[in-house]
Amino acid sequence: MIIFKIYKLITKIIRPLMYPFFIYRLFKNKEEKGKYSERRGFSSNVRPKGSLVWIHAASVGEALSSIPLIEELKKLSPKIKIIITTGTKTSKEVIIKKNIDGVIHQYAPWDIESFCSNFLNFWQPDIAIFLESEIWPNLLNETNNKSIPICLINARITNRTFKNWLKFPKTIQYLLSFFSIIIAQDEFSKAKLEKLGAKNIFVYGNLKNDSKKLLYDIEDLKKYDDFLREKDVLVLASTHEGEENNIINKFSELLKDLPNLFLVIAPRHPDRRADIIKILKKSDFTHKEFILRSSNNYLNENKKIFILDTIGELGYFYEKSNAVILGGAFEGFGGHNPIEPALFDNAIFTGPNFFNFKDEYSGLLKAGGARIISDMNDLFILKDKEKITEMANNSKIFTKNIGGTANKISKKLIGILNEHY
């Protein structure tokens, strides 16, 4: 495979540059100090005895999806041990906070042949499970060379990724052939994977639908209870660059008729806090009217907006709200999982570009728990409190009737593991 050989050559050439790259990312707060060795595939942990399952969950979304899978695997086979690799600091925090017995975290090795080999030689997993869309050529190739069964779980493929892979049909077909089994999120992804040459594909649903309510530590948040109890809390969650400006302007208008409305902004990437502040100032909100969660200050009646620039606390604000505007779909990011806020009985509002969560939104829209915002004036529906309550109740009903995917997938994986071990 000429493309794959070129890729391997390039990754060998850039290997000496990985330490400066790590330092650069450390400076950007995208790496954790002292963890460069893990990026090279080494570990300070001890490999546990017995059967070892390796799960790779790249970012926060995949890490959250892995939780119900891990819990179900442990339930079906309590003795198995799990090593989970993630690619970001925030996804690590998701795993660490769960503190599941028998689960070890390590940062994923970068996709350089020797780094991948270091990792596999140390851990010697009995099965490799990749979540969603993780196709790293060297990592897959090295895992396959060691005769470790590889599974792609909760697989999804966007239109952009599909079109890009179509330019290299032989390469993607070769890489997909490494997977013993592929379990797609939906028929949409299955059809595209089949066109790319994948085999042995099943559809069991989306693991995210099995997710429990987002957990949070109440102790440092309960100081906000009294203030929020008296407010109509609106959460603007998982927003990306370019999505907040129009919504914040509309919130400013809504305050004229809804003076009790209180906005919580939780950007997808908390380090965008400075960008949010600039937008608020341009919309004529003063410093007295907004607050950063990281400041750890108390709320007072002057505050209209709360910027949630911390990790692991969004569930608290979903609990306090009755309406959520979910980002990622106002621009071309594909949306974010609406099940998370729906589990807290919220009316869900989204932009039109939710193609990464088509099934989830279709179900919620049909159930009357969600609404597409095609024009910012559509947000004036927030004035109709009876309608918002009705939508929130519809979301609650919808979430009670989904789930079971983790159990189906886990049974399949345990079967593969037992055949190999």
**Active site (catalytic) residues:** 62
Whole-angstrom distance, CA of residue 64 vs CA of residue 91:
8
Strand partners, 308: none
For 175, phi then psi, to 5°, come to -65, -40
Q: What are the tokens at 130?
A: 């990749």
DSSP 381-399: GGG-HHHHHHHHHHHHHHH
Q: Residue 2 burial by CB count (10 A; 0-12/13-18/19+): exposed, middle or buried?
A: exposed
Q: Is 296 exposed, middle or buried (0-12, 13-18, 19+ CB in 10 A)?
A: exposed
Closest Cα to residue 96, out of 115, 119, 70? 70
| Nearest of 100, 76, 85 to residue 54 by alpha carbon | 85
Q: Is 367:397 a contact under the CB 8 Å cutoff? A: yes
Angle at 11 between CA 6 and CA 13, to 5 degrees: 95
- C-alpha 173/C-alpha 188 separation (Å) is 18
Q: 172: Cβ–Cβ under 8 A, 6 or more apart, which residues?
A: 135, 165, 196, 197
Cβ-based neighbours of 278, under 8 Å, separated by 6 or more: none
Tell me the C-alpha distance between 91 and 264, whole Å.
22
- Find the Cα–Cα–Cα–Cα dihedral 271, 15, 13, 161, rounded to 10°: -40
Distance CA 389, CA 371 (A): 13
Tell me which DSSP letter residue 377 carries: G
The answer to whether 125 and 147 are in contact (CB under 8 A) is: no
CA distance 163 to 128: 27
Task: Look up residue 111 and give its amino acid.
Answer: D
Whole-angstrom Cα distance, residue 69 to residue 103? 12
